[in-house]
Amino acid sequence: MSSVVELEKTQTQQAVSQLDQLKQFTKVVADTGDFATLKDYAPQDATTNPSLILKAAQMPGYKSLVEAAIADNRKASATGKALLSQTVDDLLVLFGVDILKVVPGRVSTETDASLSFDTESLINKAHRFVSLYAEHGISRERILIKIASTWEGIRAAEVLQKEGINCNMTLLFSLVQAVACAEAKATLISPFVGRILDWYKKSTGKDYAPAEDPGVLSVKEIYAYYKKFGYATEVMGASFRNKGEILELAGCDLLTISPQLLGELKQSTEPIERKLTPALARSSKIERLELDEKKFRWLLNENAMATEKTAEGIRLFNADAVKLQDYLAAKL
């Protein structure tokens, strides 16, 4: 009889999806503007960006959100670029509000890429998002303001965090950016695993196994640094190209994952191993990095990959933000 019970227990254990296994030691976040897909994967949080919102806004299922944002701003006194900017802000927040009806945790809403080098304007944009969410009854505890990890963006986050406005530092590709964000007491960072891999594959012409993936290794280094030196800032690996990258970072504080890769994790019941732990990270041999603005800018400049991918990411997000504005302008 006991052998039958043991067999049933083994079969039950084997039936646990990789997604559910991952959730045992990593907070899973959905990387999408299509909140209709969220219920399938039950993530804790969700992140968005201009590219995801542009894609979702053109789906028939979200027509009502687009119409609501336009209707609200037709009544406004603003015109031209100001009107378009307000409408985009309203649409981003409307998506965020509906996402928060599905996820129990937080939603990340991205500031304009065009403001990435303007500390004051980033602070003002964050205040606007918080105010818009408040109008919908959403407290700031459920919001993460996404800001590019430029020097100016990090300074904006430093001010916002002191005000109790939590920040998600995005477009992050290097340890120097990560350290500066932690020193500014940002709530979390989003190092872009896949985009780092893209750069190295293009630069070297090589393919990389997940364990040797430069993006994976970068996140492991940042995670180890944070745990060794006791920073409260959380690490949320982002921008994955394949499931292997995710599995190599099992144990990271958070991972934000596209619906496609969430689906792959849900469909597999292969056992996964925790690769990152605070205890192991604290034993790593890493030297503390002392930073000021000059040192930050120099070290970032010396990292060709991080410099190029940060600049490229800002350009691409801005291009999609402009496309979203054009899409809304045609309807306005």
Residue 267, both tokens: 């469909």
SS3 state at 113? helix
Amino acid of residue 325? Q
Cα distance between residue 311 and residue 330, in whole Å: 29
Confirm whether 275 is a catalytic residue. no
Q: Which one of 146, 220, 275, 309 is the catalytic residue?
A: 146
Cα distance between residue 215 and residue 206, in whole Å: 14
Give which of 10, 21, 2 is closest to 267, Cα–Cα: 21
Cα distance between residue 208 and residue 205, in whole Å: 10
Alpha helices in the chain (DSSP H): 2-14, 18-23, 50-57, 63-74, 80-99, 119-135, 151-162, 175-183, 193-204, 214-228, 243-248, 259-267, 278-282, 293-302, 304-331
CA angle 233, 283, 224 (to 5 degrees): 30
Residue 51, both tokens: 């590219």
Residue 256, both tokens: 């934000």
First to last CA, the chain: 70
Q: Active-site residue numbers? A: 146
